């Protein structure tokens, strides 16, 4: 069992969940063509850390070389209104602790972006370090295995991404990515700054089942105008310097920007993922539709499906599926109103153990109190109220779980 799976299994055991749980993540926010429709890209701007380096005369040489240095700090607090005696919130990832202030993430990234659409040879890279409480939940197999567990100590160090990009002037341009990179399947990400304006501190039930990272090779290109395809292989979900079964996994995605208002992102990972088992395949699909009916409104709908050979508790093939709807309305530069509803079904005990169905609804705000200031725009507060429901009494013997949470994110 990898450190990542051991860590999650420990958290699952503490929360009263099934140790059969798998992992989760998404992908690189700066790589819009790989992970999200181009229409949802954030505009590039000089970040506070680069402005600080400019005072030392370092920013300009870095920018001339195309290198950016930036990061963020995130802290949070979650309150379970049920007041569970375990002080744990079942079926959560980064917010599974009740009434516990957390330093979730201190992130430092150094990168050089490349534009494969220019179809000329170029080389880029990304090195991303992460310190904090979230790091103990996302370790890949073979990297930082020396930690004793997900909270031993509470704040740990991780290397979520370390890769090299090479642009080949072939056809419309091809980018090869080699190294460790964030998972390309799905909408949400580890990074709290990467999912556009429909972002929440608490991750979805779908994200609860993502892998976090992959180590391998990806090739990305535009097959036709506004249709980007990524294909690759990896060592498997959350595998890096070591591999839990020695087998390779397939990764692929298609990103189709239909119009200025509509885009579709289809992603898949397929391969053997069980420890010491290179035969039984797991295939994960995510189909997300993005709709921007106006500059102020963003909508998304996701369909998530997992199938695994011999993955059910009874030894048969397992299936899990989930549906989610998300929306956000930017009221003004400083305030965004957001909502999310979803349903996940696991009739085979694949990820949720004895629990078959969970529903959740979340409402929240993104508050940028200093949005008019170029530096203050990197500061946001995200309060939310979330209701989880299961017919199976999944929440410490209760059908319902209500949590209030807030996180603060400071980009630099």
Q: Which of 8-17, 64-73, 185-194, 300-309 has the lowest mean pLDDT?
A: 8-17
Instruction: Identify the pLDDT of residue 377.
Output: 81
In degrees and rounded to multiples of 5, residue 70 shows phi and psi of: -160, 180
pLDDT tens digits for range 360-395:
999 999 999 998 887 778 899 999 999 999 999 999
Instruction: Identify the pLDDT of residue 301.
Output: 96
Domain range list for the chain: 3-411
**pLDDT band, residue 32 (cuts 50/70/90):** very low
For the segment 347-361, the average pLDDT, to the nearest whole number, is 93
CA neighbor of 128 nearest in space, from 191, 66, 35: 191
Has residue 12 got a pLDDT over 60?
no
Has residue 326 got a pLDDT over 80?
yes
Among the ranges 48-52, 59-63, 76-80, 147-151, which has the highest mean pLDDT value? 76-80
Between 247 and 18, name the one with better pLDDT: 247
Residues, the chain: 412
Q: Which of 1-15, 102-116, 288-302 has the lowest mean pLDDT?
A: 1-15
Residues 6+ apart with CB under 8 A from 110: 67, 68, 69, 125, 126, 127, 128
Has residue 11 got a pLDDT over 80?
no
Share the mean pLDDT of the chain.
Answer: 88
> What residues are paired with 257 via a beta bridge?
263
Please state the three-class secondary structure of the chain as a single string. CCHHHHHHHHHHHHHCCCCCCCCCCCCCCCCHHHHCCHHHCCCCCCCHHHHHHHHCCCHHHHHHCCEEEEEEEEEEEEEECCCCCCCECCCCCCCCECCCCEEEEEEEEEEECCCHHHCCCEEEEEEEEEEECCHHHHCCECCCCCCCECCECCCEEEEEEEEEEEEECCCCCEEEEEEEEECCCCCCCCCCCCCCCCCCCCCCCCHHHCCCEEEEEEEEEEEECCEEEEEEEECCCCECCCCCCCCCEEEEEEEEECCCCEEEEEEEEEEECCCCCCCCEEEEEEEEEEECCCCCEEEEEEEEEEEECCCCCCCCCEEEEEEEEEEEEEEECCEEEEEEEEEEECCCCCCCCCCCEEEEEEEEEEECCCCCCCCHHHEEEEEEEEEEECCCCCECCECEEEEEEEEEEEEC
Q: What is the dihedral of CA 382, 209, 91, 277, to 10 degrees?
A: -150
Has residue 41 got a pLDDT over 80?
no
CA 35, 38, 40, 45 dihedral sign is positive
pLDDT tens digits for range 152-176:
999 999 999 999 999 999 999 999 9
For the segment 82-101, the average pLDDT, to the nearest whole number, is 95
Instruction: Identify the pLDDT of residue 209.
Output: 85
In degrees and rounded to multiples of 5, residue 69 shows phi and psi of: -125, 125
**pLDDT band, residue 6 (cuts 50/70/90):** very low
Has residue 396 got a pLDDT over 60?
yes
**pLDDT band, residue 344 (cuts 50/70/90):** very high
Instruction: Identify the pLDDT of residue 34.
Output: 41
C-alpha separations of 335 from 77, 166, 186, 347 in Å: 20, 39, 26, 40
Has residue 220 got a pLDDT over 50?
yes
C-alpha separations of 64 from 60, 61, 67 in Å: 6, 5, 8
In degrees and rounded to multiples of 5, residue 52 shows phi and psi of: -65, -40
**pLDDT band, residue 353 (cuts 50/70/90):** confident
Question: 3-411 has which CATH code?
Answer: 2.40.160.10
Neighbouring CB atoms inside 10 A of 251's CB total 23
Q: What is the percent of the chain with per-residue pLDDT over 70, rounded to a whole number?
A: 89
Tokens of 412: 């630099």
Asked whether 102 and 76 are in contact (CB, 8 A), the reply is yes
Instruction: Identify the pLDDT of residue 335.
Output: 96
pLDDT tens digits for range 281-297:
999 999 999 999 999 99
Asked whether 258 and 243 are in contact (CB, 8 A), the reply is no
Instruction: Identify the pLDDT of residue 31.
Output: 44
pLDDT tens digits for range 193-216:
987 778 999 999 999 888 999 999
Q: What is the pTM of this model?
A: 0.87
Has residue 29 got a pLDDT over 80?
no
**pLDDT band, residue 45 (cuts 50/70/90):** low
Has residue 68 got a pLDDT over 60?
yes
């Amino acid at each position: 069992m990898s450190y990542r799976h051991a860590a999650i299994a420990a958290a699952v055991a503490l929360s009263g969940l099934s140790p059969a749980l798998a992992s989760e993540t998404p992908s690189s926010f700066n790589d819009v063509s790989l992970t999200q429709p181009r229409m949802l890209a954030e505009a590039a701007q000089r970040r506070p850390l680069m402005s600080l380096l400019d005072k030392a005369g370092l920013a300009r040489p870095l920018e001339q070389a195309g290198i950016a240095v930036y990061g963020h700090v995130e802290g949070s607090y979650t309150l379970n209104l049920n007041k569970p005696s375990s002080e744990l919130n079942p079926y959560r990832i980064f917010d599974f602790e009740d009434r516990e202030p957390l330093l979730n993430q201190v992130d430092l990234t150094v990168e050089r972006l490349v534009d494969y659409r220019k179809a000329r040879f170029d080389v880029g890279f990304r090195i991303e370090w992460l310190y904090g409480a979230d790091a103990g939940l996302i370790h890949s197999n073979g990297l930082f295995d020396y930690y004793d567990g997900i909270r031993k100590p509470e704040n740990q160090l991780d290397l979520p991404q370390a890769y090299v990009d090479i642009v080949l002037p072939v056809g419309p341009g091809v980018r090869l990515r080699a190294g460790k990179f964030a998972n390309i399947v799905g909408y949400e990400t580890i990074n709290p700054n990467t999912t556009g304006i429909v972002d929440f501190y608490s991750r979805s039930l779908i994200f609860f089942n993502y892998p976090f990272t992959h180590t391998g090779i990806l090739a990305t290109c535009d097959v036709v105008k506004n249709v980007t395809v990524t294909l690759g292989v990896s060592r498997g979900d959350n595998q890096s310097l070591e591999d839990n079964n020695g087998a390779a996994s397939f990764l692929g995605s298609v990103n189709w920007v239909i119009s200025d208002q509509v885009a579709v992102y289809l992603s898949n990972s397929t391969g053997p993922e069980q420890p010491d088992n290179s035969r039984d395949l797991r295939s994960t699909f995510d189909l997300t539709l993005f709709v921007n009916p106006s500059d102020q409104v963003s909508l998304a709908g996701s369909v998530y499906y997992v199938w695994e050979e011999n993955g059910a508790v009874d030894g048969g093939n397992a299936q899990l599926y989930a549906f989610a709807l998300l929306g956000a309305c930017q009221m003004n530069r400083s305030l965004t109103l957001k909502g999310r509803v979803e349903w996940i079904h696991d009739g085979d005990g694949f990820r949720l153990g004895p629990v078959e169905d969970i529903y959740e609804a979340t409402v929240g705000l993104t508050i940028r109190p200093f949005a008019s200031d170029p530096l203050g725009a990197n500061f946001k507060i995200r309060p939310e109220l979330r209701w989880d429901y299961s017919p199976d009494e999944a929440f410490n013997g209760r059908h319902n779980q209500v949590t209030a949470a807030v996180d603060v994110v400071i980009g630099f």
